[in-house]
Chain A
């Protein structure tokens, strides 16, 4: 009988030792959109269908008006700056480190193309250049611009990209010429395979009429009546929108919006009426078919020009947006998108009267 105490005690010992609770690996949050996301561009393909690109190689797509978003693998981790679909299937994306991505299946898969946007320094070292702006007209023709005045283009659907430096024609003297010799180019728009514009640092507005072979500066007329005497003092232009061969509009530093109605013969700044000064840069600008305009910028600034008017006012988004807003794109008069920092995506379905956030 008393021997029984040993097994009993052993059993108790085993119980006493017990086991420790295992650390539970709570899954990582799987969202498509995080507050740390930075979205640089959006393109609306139809009322409910849109693509957004941003920091960290992020490409997201919605097909239900932003109720849900799906991530599309980009294969890169660098920032993606611009997206351009030419039809349902074909599109390009440009990004940091000379990245060009192409899709032929409506954005489901993206493959890298060799942009050749490389800068070779005097010491022989090579740097992949940033491609900030991209535009494509059809599934063959596309252009991308970026750092150090680089322009790279394709006319064979991206099989080959030909990169070159856009030469500045302004005769600049003195030390400043060094800085201005290869200004950063931020955006490019073509209205047809021959005619297009590029905008960039120091208010550069370059125009081509031969498909991008030769470029002419058009920004000098901007200085008229502004009190700016040195072309290097012109505000950097970050975004351009071209409506036709004649009409284009560009946005840039200190809330400037420049416009031409004659194919660039004359550029002038639009009038802006605000209750408190607009000091932040405007980054992108777009114009709708009815002639109304939108421009986005830092510190949540969104400017709006009503159809038929020439003066810009602050748009009311219906909420307090404090961070930068970048890409803006409308699929029609009523439906549009607005994207920016801190993972912000806004959508309107009433021609911009109200904007509602879309979460992933």
Chain B
């Protein structure tokens, strides 16, 4: 057996185990099938979803602040919808009407916090209105849809005179309005939100708009059908030109029945502007006769853009079907490759059995522990399956080899392949499993769950590889000897032979060592640029020209920032938020941080106060200041808040005026920006203490990302170290050698350096999504080296010559390694076609990773062994005489 000090008894034990597995194949098979069946059942119950809380390091103080106040002051799950008028300003009756209706529809989207919607069309967005008798009243900007041009002008005036609205909910150029909605985290359902916003909020008012307001569902009778009846008709629009009248019900478009406003919009939106369609219309008050009306589809006059985390995830989910296709294509491609390599269907089938069994065990377990799959980490299970397949290919190749060596005795070959590969397979699987398990140390629930799941999944590979394998081979008819021999005659084998000879030549060795050393140095230099967090301004999850990033950029452009950072001002006592010093510090904080290039604008209770104070004093802007006494502040708040329900005021300040917040809207969540903004906040807070309150960092997307990034920075190095350490320890036990670990880790170090360099070069940051993949990669590179090293030891025991053994190992195990590596690299590279940029990039990176670690295991590792001639291998040479036959066969093969 492979290890230097492992006794013959150990090997005999493995041979014995192999025999017994074949003897008891029926009961073993039944048990495995039953358990696999159970796991398979559970895996079909699995859901694809993201639990936001799981993504956060819950013990981080920022996240605790976030959790405490997200319900009132707004969380990280904001959707921003921008309504932009293509021509002219938004202050026209049809446009304002649509903003009002869009807001109304947004309010009905599942999971929206009804008290945390900001829009000029929402009841909670108020301005102060002077009433007769000198009374002031805080009234919604829009109580209902505007009817006349005068109404629209009045709204325009209100907007321009209210500093908490102008520039914040309406762009400074009057061309766009913002509808901001906050979601209740526990009710986030990304797919549902995505569909509802597309169908109900966007389509009816953008591409599905014909120039008439169509009646929607009555909120009080939501279950009753609401036919598409024309509620208001606007002059000079397509609907008016077509001769539609108020009260007409549209029942069909081009013969397709129309149930309601949503269905109508969906059908209209399908046609290009300028197309003529026939509407089936039941005239108002008329008979049930359906009239045909010709409508020319108008060019949309409004453009709607939606950004924010729930939207982003919605897009990601909508792309998740990609995964299915990539998976199918990969699966087929690998079957073909394996068939080409093994020249028979067993070789193509066997690895699939391992892959499927491991997948069922893995996915079933995911469901069992109450975890759902995040579409962003779908690359992970894919990789694990690929690992399973890769181990199976090694086994299958070895089986053929032993089959030949044992003179076409199937049973002997099965047992020998099982016993000889047991240690490298087992060590490989366990290193992978334990290597991944170290991720559990990151205090992020999702990563912890992931660590457990992936670790389990990888361990499940042992079920088929260690337990089922001999049995499956026994059930399958033995391969045709001609097929087995053919493996050694092809161009592939010849190429491997030639490359191996070249690599092991005197020049080849020097070249290889120098090549890897130079690469490592360059890589180490480049990896200095590695960033924690997201490195790009757009969302790195989807491509920069994806609809999401385009929308995000447009909103950013008009409003200067969409990603919230919520800093809570926590009072020491009641009424702390009436203290002028606290309020002035908050405003000063806003002015300070707004000077950071990544901060767009900000909002605080101080803004409300200044705005109200100004309105309270006949709109004289000189009153737009924080009053200098707590009493004046209190009076001003009273004017504004007195007649508002507490649910509406809670988003600014709690009812006892103890706690309020400053919200900064940041331009992006680049890792660097997040860290810098937080550092600046800390600097300001330190330099500007408040007498009656304390600032607490930090909620909102930026706050929680800062927490996640901090947790990652703290853990990234530890993770790498522990990953390597785990591998080292396992290798130490497997080969009873201090040096073996160092040899095996060398290719991994270089791969690690190069992958980090590649991430820095391509601008991929270490974040909650990339960390597990990178850590998994650490373990994944090890198997290649393990198979090769084991084979070298195995060979040297037979022939006693180190260089001959190295060559032998490279043309046998090395050949299988190169084949699995090409399959895996090819498979992961297919991810590049994913619409989800994250998956594409990670697929690409992992392909690079596996290629580098394969290449290093195949070239650097043998060269290092040949060059340094380690004692733990040489001492095995002494046993050379003890094992007959293999050397002769091996020589014959080569």
* A binding-site residues for B, Cβ under 8 Å: 1-2, 4-6, 8-9, 12-13, 15-21, 23-26, 28-31, 34-36, 38, 40, 55-56, 77-79, 81, 96-97, 125, 127-128, 130, 132, 179, 184, 186, 201, 236, 238, 253, 276, 279-281, 283, 298-300, 320, 322-324, 326, 340-342
A16 with B753, Cβ < 8 A, contacts A281-B619, A323-B160 known: yes
Q: How far is the CA of A130 from the CA of B592 in the complex (A)?
A: 25
Q: How far is the CA of A323 from the CA of B619 in the complex (A)?
A: 12
| Contact, CB under 8 Å: B868 / A17 | no
> Chain A nearest CB: distance from B264 CB in Å?
36
| Contact, CB under 8 Å: B625 / A21 | no
Chain A positions within 8 Å of B619 at CB level: 280-281, 298, 324
| Contact, CB under 8 Å: B870 / A55 | no
Sample of 6 further A-B pairs with CB below 8 A, known A5-B870, A55-B625, A323-B166: A6-B742, A18-B753, A21-B530, A79-B622, A125-B629, A298-B619
| Contact, CB under 8 Å: B742 / A38 | no
A96 with B584, Cβ < 8 A, contacts A2-B870, A21-B529 known: no
Q: How far is the CA of A159 from the CA of B401 in the complex (A)?
A: 106
Check B750 for interface membership: any CB of A closer than 8 A: yes
Chain B positions within 8 Å of A25 at CB level: 676, 679
Chain A positions within 8 Å of B618 at CB level: 201, 236, 253, 281
| Contact, CB under 8 Å: A18 / B528 | yes
Check B257 for interface membership: any CB of A closer than 8 A: no
Check B672 for interface membership: any CB of A closer than 8 A: yes
Chain B positions within 8 Å of A30 at CB level: 595
Residues of chain B in range 126-176 having any CB-CB distance to chain A below 8 Å: 134, 153, 157, 160-161, 163, 166-167, 172-174
Q: Which residue from chain B places its CB closest to the CB of A130 in the assembled complex?
A: B622
Q: How far is the CA of A271 from the CA of B672 in the complex (A)?
A: 59
Q: How far is the CA of A34 from the CA of B560 in the complex (A)?
A: 14
Q: How far is the CA of A148 from the CA of B317 in the complex (A)?
A: 62
3 nearest CB pairs, A to B? A9-B742, A28-B595, A16-B749
| Contact, CB under 8 Å: A36 / B166 | no
Chain A positions within 8 Å of B868 at CB level: 1-2, 4-5
| Contact, CB under 8 Å: B628 / A127 | yes
Q: Which residue from chain B places its CB closest to the CB of A326 in the assembled complex?
A: B621
Q: How far is the CA of A279 from the CA of B721 in the complex (A)?
A: 71
Chain B positions within 8 Å of A26 at CB level: 596-598, 676
| Contact, CB under 8 Å: B591 / A36 | yes
Q: 0/1 per residue, B705-730, Cβ < 8 Å to A?
A: 00000000100110011001000000
Check B565 for interface membership: any CB of A closer than 8 A: no
Check B583 for interface membership: any CB of A closer than 8 A: no
| Number of inter-chain CB pairs below 8 Å | 164
Q: How many residues of B contact A (CB 8 A)?
A: 71
Which of B281-289, B472-480, B519-527, B786-794 lies at the binding interface?
B519-527
| Contact, CB under 8 Å: B588 / A77 | yes
Q: Could you list 6 examples of A-B contacts with CB < 8 Å?
A: A15-B524, A20-B530, A30-B595, A38-B621, A186-B622, A322-B174
| Contact, CB under 8 Å: B870 / A96 | no
- Of the candidates A5, A12, A13, A55, the one having the most CB atoms from chain B within 10 angstroms of its own CB is A12
Q: How far is the CA of A325 from the CA of B167 in the complex (A)?
A: 16
Q: How far is the CA of A324 from the CA of B615 in the complex (A)?
A: 13
Chain A positions within 8 Å of B672 at CB level: 23-24
Chain B positions within 8 Å of A9 at CB level: 742-743, 745-746
| Contact, CB under 8 Å: A36 / B753 | no
Residues of chain B in range 626-653 having any CB-CB distance to chain A below 8 Å: 628-629, 632
Check B68 for interface membership: any CB of A closer than 8 A: no
Chain A positions within 8 Å of B869 at CB level: 1-2
Q: 0/1 per residue, B751-762, Cβ < 8 Å to A?
A: 011001000100
A2 with B527, Cβ < 8 A, contacts A23-B676, A29-B595 known: no
| Contact, CB under 8 Å: A322 / B716 | no
Interface of B, secondary structure class, is helix
Q: How far is the CA of A138 from the CA of B586 in the complex (A)?
A: 39
| Contact, CB under 8 Å: A38 / B528 | no
| Contact, CB under 8 Å: A5 / B161 | no
| Contact, CB under 8 Å: B717 / A17 | yes
| Contact, CB under 8 Å: B724 / A16 | yes
Check B46 for interface membership: any CB of A closer than 8 A: no
Chain B positions within 8 Å of A279 at CB level: 157
Q: Which residue from chain A places its CB closest to the CB of B588 in the assembled complex?
A: A77
Q: How far is the CA of A132 from the CA of B717 in the complex (A)?
A: 59
> Chain A nearest CB: distance from B119 CB in Å?
19
> Chain A nearest CB: distance from B459 CB in Å?
26
> Chain A nearest CB: distance from B305 CB in Å?
22
Q: How far is the CA of A28 from the CA of B684 in the complex (A)?
A: 13
Q: Which residue of the partner chain, among A2, A132, A320, contacts B871 with CB atoms under 8 Å?
A: A2
Chain A positions within 8 Å of B628 at CB level: 78, 96-97, 127-128
Q: How far is the CA of A341 from the CA of B596 in the complex (A)?
A: 21
Check B356 for interface membership: any CB of A closer than 8 A: no
Chain B positions within 8 Å of A2 at CB level: 739, 868-871
Chain B positions within 8 Å of A132 at CB level: 620, 622
| Contact, CB under 8 Å: A56 / B591 | yes
A322 with B172, Cβ < 8 A, contacts A20-B532, A29-B596 known: yes
> Chain B nearest CB: distance from A281 CB in Å?
5
Q: How far is the CA of A13 from the CA of B746 in the complex (A)?
A: 8
| Contact, CB under 8 Å: B621 / A13 | no
> Chain B nearest CB: distance from A124 CB in Å?
13
Chain B positions within 8 Å of A201 at CB level: 618
Check B531 for interface membership: any CB of A closer than 8 A: yes
Check B817 for interface membership: any CB of A closer than 8 A: no
Q: Which residue of the partner chain, among A13, A81, A236, A323, contacts B749 with CB atoms under 8 Å?
A: A13
| Contact, CB under 8 Å: B590 / A16 | no
Q: How far is the CA of A12 from the CA of B753 in the complex (A)?
A: 9
Check B617 for interface membership: any CB of A closer than 8 A: yes
Check B675 for interface membership: any CB of A closer than 8 A: yes
Check B864 for interface membership: any CB of A closer than 8 A: yes
Chain B positions within 8 Å of A298 at CB level: 160-161, 619, 621
| Contact, CB under 8 Å: A238 / B676 | no
| Contact, CB under 8 Å: B620 / A281 | yes
Chain A positions within 8 Å of B753 at CB level: 15-16, 18
> Chain B nearest CB: distance from A30 CB in Å?
8
| Contact, CB under 8 Å: A342 / B167 | yes
Q: How far is the CA of A326 from the CA of B621 in the complex (A)?
A: 8
| Contact, CB under 8 Å: B594 / A21 | no
| Contact, CB under 8 Å: A5 / B591 | no
Q: How far is the CA of A16 from the CA of B553 in the complex (A)?
A: 37
Check B310 for interface membership: any CB of A closer than 8 A: no
| Contact, CB under 8 Å: A238 / B620 | yes
Check B75 for interface membership: any CB of A closer than 8 A: no
Q: How far is the CA of A28 from the CA of B867 in the complex (A)?
A: 55
Chain A positions within 8 Å of B167 at CB level: 35, 342
Check B624 for interface membership: any CB of A closer than 8 A: yes
Chain B positions within 8 Å of A24 at CB level: 672, 676
> Chain B nearest CB: distance from A212 CB in Å?
22
| Contact, CB under 8 Å: A299 / B172 | no
> Chain A nearest CB: distance from B707 CB in Å?
15
Q: Which residue of the partner chain, among B161, B584, B675, contacts A299 with CB atoms under 8 Å?
A: B161
> Chain B nearest CB: distance from A13 CB in Å?
7
> Chain B nearest CB: distance from A64 CB in Å?
24
- Of the candidates B529, B621, B870, the one having the most CB atoms from chain A within 10 angstroms of its own CB is B621
Q: How far is the CA of A186 from the CA of B621 in the complex (A)?
A: 12
Residues of chain B in range 225-274 having any CB-CB distance to chain A below 8 Å: none
| Contact, CB under 8 Å: B621 / A5 | no
Q: How far is the CA of A261 from the CA of B721 in the complex (A)?
A: 88
Chain A positions within 8 Å of B680 at CB level: 28
Chain A positions within 8 Å of B530 at CB level: 18, 20-21
Chain B positions within 8 Å of A5 at CB level: 739, 742-743, 864, 868, 870
Q: 0/1 per residue, B571-600, Cβ < 8 Å to A?
A: 000000000000010001011101111100
Q: How far is the CA of A303 from the CA of B153 in the complex (A)?
A: 19
- Of the candidates A31, A281, A340, the one having the most CB atoms from chain B within 10 angstroms of its own CB is A281
- Of the candidates A17, A253, A280, A283, the one having the most CB atoms from chain B within 10 angstroms of its own CB is A17
Q: How far is the CA of A1 from the CA of B867 in the complex (A)?
A: 8
